[in-house]
């Protein structure tokens, strides 16, 4: 999507890895305006789902409705898409994919604090151990736009935000030089 004034960053990872915390801080710290979109919240707010799965306590997303809703925003750029999956978004939309990773013991503790059902904690923990989202990102996007970052301590969060802000500055400079 040429001529955008700000990038689209996909922030993904297993639930509990810190996506929303990273996205909120990044939106505040970015040298260009970025709008944080928590895709799960958007799905609920705009009823972009087919049904609710009681067993998993989550919505079954209507991907077509979701993409139709996001398309005009993607054309403008300046987004942080915060979601636990990534293969749904068209490659042309995304400038950077950040996969947050977390030690599975820490992740288990975080999900317990959220009162997730045991089955959901086990499934998400297994997904993290098996690098499911990392593999999904690599099969969906060019290797050079994917960054995997640790997200276990406050220092990780601060360092990750600094690194992403530097990437945004470089992205902006490259755009300005090519205009």
Q: Return phi, psi of residue 61, to 5°.
A: -70, 140
Tell me if 16 is assigned to a ligand binding site: yes
Tell me if 153 is assigned to a ligand binding site: yes
pLDDT confidence band for 157 (50 / 70 / 90) = very high
pLDDT at 128: 96
Tell me if 13 is assigned to a ligand binding site: no
Enumerate helices (H) and strands (E) in the chain, giving the number of each. Answer: 7, 7
Tell me if 92 is assigned to a ligand binding site: no
Tell me if 113 is assigned to a ligand binding site: no
Tokens found for residue 108: 């288990």
Domains of the chain: 9-39+80-169 (3.40.50.300)
Of the chain, the percentage scoring pLDDT greater than 90 comes to 91
pLDDT at 2: 57
pLDDT confidence band for 56 (50 / 70 / 90) = confident
pLDDT at 5: 87
Kindly write down the DSSP assignment for every residue of 23-83, as one continuous string: HHHHHHH-SS--EEEEHHHHHHHTT-EEEEETTTTEEEE-HHHHHHHHHHHHHH--EEEEE
The 10s digit of each residue's pLDDT in 1-43 is 557 889 999 999 999 999 999 999 999 999 999 999 999 999 9
Average pLDDT over residues 103-108: 96
Average pLDDT over residues 105-125: 95
Tell me if 65 is assigned to a ligand binding site: no
Tell me if 120 is assigned to a ligand binding site: no
Helix, coil or strand: residue 90: coil
pLDDT confidence band for 118 (50 / 70 / 90) = very high
Q: Is the pLDDT of residue 73 over 80?
A: yes
Query: Is the pTM of the predicted complex or chain greater than 0.85?
Result: yes
């Amino acid at each position: 999507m040429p001529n955008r004034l700000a990038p689209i960053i996909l922030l993904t990872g297993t639930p509990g890895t810190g996506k929303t915390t990273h996205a909120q801080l990044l939106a505040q710290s970015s040298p260009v305006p970025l709008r944080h979109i928590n895709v799960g919240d958007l799905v609920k707010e705009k009823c972009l789902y087919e049904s609710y799965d009681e067993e998993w306590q989550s919505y079954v997303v209507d991907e077509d409705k979701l993409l139709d809703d996001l398309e005009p925003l993607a054309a403008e750029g300046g987004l942080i898409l915060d979601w636990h999956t990534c293969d749904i978004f068209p490659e042309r939309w995304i400038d950077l994919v950040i996969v947050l990773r977390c030690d599975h013991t820490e992740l288990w503790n975080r999900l317990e604090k959220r009162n997730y059902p045991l089955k959901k904690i086990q499934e998400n923990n297994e997904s993290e151990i098996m690098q499911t989202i990392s593999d999904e990102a690599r099969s969906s996007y060019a290797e050079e736009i994917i960054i995997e970052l640790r997200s276990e301590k406050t220092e990780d969060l601060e360092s990750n935000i600094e690194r992403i802000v530097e990437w945004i500055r470089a992205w902006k400079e490259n755009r300005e030089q090519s205009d």
